[in-house]
Amino acid sequence: MKKTSLLDRAAFAAMLLCAFFMTAACQKPQEEEKPDDNTEEPVVNPDDEDDDNEEPDTPVVPDRPEMTGLTFDISVEPGVVSAVLDIVPSDPEAHYYAQVLDAAWFTEYTDQAMIELICQDFGANLSAACVTGSILDYQVTNIMPSTDYFVVAFGVDTSYNTYNSLMTKVQFKTLDNQPTEAYAPFSIAGYWLVEDLAAYNPEYASLKDSDSTVIAAIDVDFSDEAVMAHYVTYIGDETGSDPELLIHEILYYGMTFGYTIMKEQPVELIYRGFGYPMTVCTVALDAAGNYGELYRTLVTFTEDGVSKDFALFDEYFSKKSDKRIGIN
Distance of alpha carbon 66 from alpha carbon 164, whole angstroms: 6
Please give the residue that has the higher pLDDT: either 4 or 318: 318
Look at the alpha carbons of 307, 309, 312, 317 in this order and tell me if their dihedral is positive or negative: positive
Query: In this structure, are residues 291 and 80 in contact, taking their beta carbons and an 8 Å threshold?
Result: yes
b/e per residue 46-57 (b: at least 16 CB within 10 A): eeeeeeeeeeee
Instruction: Encode pLDDT of 249-294 as tens digits.
Output: 999 888 888 899 999 999 999 999 999 999 999 999 999 999 999 9
* Angle ∠(129,131,132) on CA atoms, nearest 5: 160
Query: In this structure, are residues 196 and 222 in contact, taking their beta carbons and an 8 Å threshold?
Result: no
Instruction: Encode pLDDT of 58-90 as tens digits.
Output: 666 567 889 999 999 999 999 998 999 999 999
Residue 188 has pLDDT above 50, yes or no: yes
Distance of alpha carbon 277 from alpha carbon 255, whole angstroms: 25
Residue 226 has phi, psi (to 5 degrees) of -75, 140
Confidence of residue 52 (pLDDT cuts 50, 70, 90): low
Query: In this structure, are residues 238 and 247 in contact, taking their beta carbons and an 8 Å threshold?
Result: no
Distance of alpha carbon 295 from alpha carbon 327, whole angstroms: 20
Query: In this structure, are residues 126 and 161 in contact, taking their beta carbons and an 8 Å threshold?
Result: yes
Write down the pLDDT at residue 328: 57
> Which residues, at least 6 apart from 202, have a Cβ–Cβ distance to it below 8 Å?
none
Write down the pLDDT at residue 63: 78
Distance of alpha carbon 179 from alpha carbon 182, whole angstroms: 9
Percent of the chain with pLDDT over 70: 79
Write down the pLDDT at residue 325: 79
Nearest to 179 by CA among 274, 91, 292: 292
Instruction: Encode pLDDT of 204-226 as tens digits.
Output: 998 987 678 999 999 999 999 99
Confidence of residue 34 (pLDDT cuts 50, 70, 90): very low
Q: Per-residue pLDDT averaged across 55-60, rounded?
A: 61
> Which residues, at least 6 apart from 326, have a Cβ–Cβ distance to it below 8 Å?
259, 268, 269, 270, 271
Average pLDDT, the chain: 84
Query: In this structure, are residues 76 and 170 in contact, taking their beta carbons and an 8 Å threshold?
Result: yes
Distance of alpha carbon 145 from alpha carbon 289, whole angstroms: 10
Distance of alpha carbon 310 from alpha carbon 107, whole angstroms: 55
Instruction: Encode pLDDT of 224-244 as tens digits.
Output: 999 999 999 999 999 999 999
Write down the pLDDT at residue 38: 53
Highest mean pLDDT among 40-44, 153-157, 245-249: 153-157
Distance of alpha carbon 270 from alpha carbon 284, whole angstroms: 18
Write down the pLDDT at residue 54: 60
Residue 168 has phi, psi (to 5 degrees) of -105, 130
Query: In this structure, are residues 177 and 286 in contact, taking their beta carbons and an 8 Å threshold?
Result: no
> Which residues, at least 6 apart from 58, have a Cβ–Cβ distance to it below 8 Å?
none
Confidence of residue 180 (pLDDT cuts 50, 70, 90): very high
Residue 147 has pLDDT above 60, yes or no: yes
Write down the pLDDT at residue 208: 85
Instruction: Encode pLDDT of 115-139 as tens digits.
Output: 999 999 999 999 999 999 999 999 9
Burial class (CB in 10 A: 0-12, 13-18, 19+), 314: middle
Three-state SS string over 18-69 comes to CCCCCCCCCCCCCCCCCCCCCCCCCCCCCCCCCHHHCCCCCCCCCCCCCCCC
What domains appear along the chain, each with residue ranges and CATH number? 72-173 (2.60.40), 186-318 (2.60.40)
